[in-house]
């Protein structure tokens, strides 16, 4: 048992369930960085809910000791929204893969972004479908051979960062699973951010994605310049599309403070002069003929 005086360490956030990921999977790096971020923030185990969809990456909540929900493919954001809106005091963090989040669940992202829903969304982007064994995903590069695209992927990949920026997310960042310290920092900042924060983490799948491997990324990951203005949406979009010096940019692209969904819902409750012991007989009176 830990007492209040003994701060929790990263390993204290680890559950008894060992990760089921393949050896060398990028998701291990994400898990380790997240556990460290939790320890650094001293995240409250009892008041944190990790929500995920379906996919290799979506197994994430099982490996952490907090409350969690493993839901249905693509539905992580709606379920996470429900938890947070019902219990604003809880820390709600959503996890999933690029297929889960941007293919089947892609219809939810714009709305969570535009509403500035108070959740953190961490995507493990491996540019492939892992759990179903190597099909093309929405971030698979054009022309890549996958199990469903033996002649090369016919679809242009989408850009998760630009997508979220365009729809109004107030915190958008990108990390790379191998750069654990950066990921840890991004996760911490995302959790602390009020409103919707999106962190795309490039997380290679050595089993099925033979193109976007750790080797491939070795010289292709760059960092946003130290003087990047995170309030500048145009600059953020430019880096999202073009990267930096021919490399994929990592770091915080965008970080602004705007009213969140909870702020607005609270505004509605104020307008309705809400109180928990509002007399229901008063609304029944409205039906007296």
Partner 1 sequence: MAQNDLIIRFGGEGGEGIISSGDMVAQAAARSGLEVLTFKTFPAEIRGGYAMYQTRFAHDNILCEGSGFDVMVAFNQEALDQNVKLMKEGTVLVYDYPGGDIAEEQNIPGVTCYPVPMSKTAKEDLGMYRVKNMVAMGAVAELFAISMDQIRETIKEKFGKKGAEIVELNFKALDAGRDHVRNNLKKTDPYKMDPGKPKEGTIIISGNEAVGLGALLAGVQFFSAYPITPATEVANYLSKELPKFKGTLVQAEDEIASIGNVIGASYAGAKAMTATSGPGLSLMQELIGLASISEVPIVICDVQRGGPSTGLPTKHEQSDLLLAALGCHGDASKVVISPEGVEDCVYLTVEAFNVAEKYQVPVIILSDGSLGFRTASMKRPDPKSLRIVNRELYKGNGKPFARYEFTASGVSAMALPGTPGGAYISTGLEHAESSAPRYTADNHSKMLDKRFNKLNDIEDFFPKTEADVQDGAGLGIITWGSTIGVVREAVKLARAQGLKVSALYPKLVWPLPLKALNGFTSKHKKILIPEVNKQGQLARLIKSETGLNSISYPIYGGMPFTPAMILDKIKEVI
Ligand X SMILES: Cc1ncc(C[n+]2csc(CCOP(=O)(O)OP(=O)(O)O)c2C)c(N)n1
Q: Which of ligand SF4, ligand X, partner 1, none sits in contact with 66, Cβ below 5 to 8 A by type?
A: partner 1
Here's the x/- map for ligand SF4, 91-130, by CB under 6 A: it reads as -----------------------------------x---x
The least distance separating ligand X from the CB of residue 99, rounded to whole angstroms, comes to 3
In this structure, are residues 56 and 99 in contact, taking their beta carbons and an 8 Å threshold? Answer: no
Q: Closer to ligand X at the Cβ: 102 or 239?
A: 102
Query: 127 vs 39, 54, 106, 131, 265, CA distance in Å?
Result: 29, 15, 15, 12, 36
Q: Closer to partner 1 at the Cβ: 107 or 225?
A: 107
End-to-end Cα separation, the chain, in angstroms: 62
Q: Which of ligand X, partner 1, ligand SF4, none sits in contact with 206, Cβ below 5 to 8 A by type?
A: ligand SF4
The least distance separating ligand SF4 from the CB of residue 108, rounded to whole angstroms, comes to 22
Q: Which of partner 1, ligand X, ligand SF4, none sits in contact with 132, Cβ below 5 to 8 A by type?
A: ligand X
The least distance separating ligand X from the CB of residue 94, rounded to whole angstroms, comes to 12
Here's the x/- map for ligand SF4, 25-64, by CB under 6 A: it reads as x-x----------------------------x--------
CA 17 to chain centre: 22
Q: Which of ligand X, ligand SF4, partner 1, none sits in contact with 21, Cβ below 5 to 8 A by type?
A: ligand SF4
The least distance separating ligand SF4 from the CB of residue 1, rounded to whole angstroms, comes to 33
d(Cα 114, Cα 171) in Å, to the nearest integer?
12
Residue 206 is a binding residue for ligand SF4 (CB under 6 A): yes
């Amino acid at each position: 048992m830990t007492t209040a005086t003994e701060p929790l360490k990263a390993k204290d956030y680890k559950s008894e369930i060992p990760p089921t990921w393949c050896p060398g999977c990028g998701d291990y790096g994400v898990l380790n960085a997240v556990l460290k971020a939790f320890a650094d923030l001293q995240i409250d185990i009892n008041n944190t809910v990790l929500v995920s969809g379906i996919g290799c990456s979506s197994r994430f909540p099982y490996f952490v000791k907090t409350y969690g929900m493993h839901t249905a493919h693509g539905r992580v954001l709606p379920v996470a929204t429900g938890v947070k809106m019902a219990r604003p005091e809880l820390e709600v963090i959503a996890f999933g893969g690029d297929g889960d989040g941007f293919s089947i669940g892609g219809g939810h992202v714009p709305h969570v972004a535009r509403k500035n829903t108070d959740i953190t969304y961490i995507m493990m982007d491996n540019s492939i479908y892992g759990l179903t064994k190597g099909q093309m995903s929405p971030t698979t590069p054009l022309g890549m051979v996958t199990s469903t695209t033996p002649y090369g992927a016919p679809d242009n990949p989408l850009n998760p960062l630009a997508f979220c920026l365009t729809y109004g997310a107030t915190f958008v960042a990108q990390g790379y699973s191998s750069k654990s310290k950066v990921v840890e920092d991004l996760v911490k900042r995302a959790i602390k951010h009020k409103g919707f924060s999106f962190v795309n983490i490039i997380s290679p799948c050595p089993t099925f994605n033979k193109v976007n491997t750790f080797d491939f990324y070795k010289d292709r990951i760059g960092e946003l310049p130290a003087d990047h203005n995170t309030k500048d949406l145009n600059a953020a979009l430019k880096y999202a599309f073009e990267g930096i010096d021919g490399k994929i940019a990592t770091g915080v692209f965008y970080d602004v403070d705007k009213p969140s969904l909870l702020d607005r819902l609270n505004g509605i409750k104020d307008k309705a002069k809400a109180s928990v012991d509002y007399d229901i007989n008063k609304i029944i009176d409205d039906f007296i003929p």
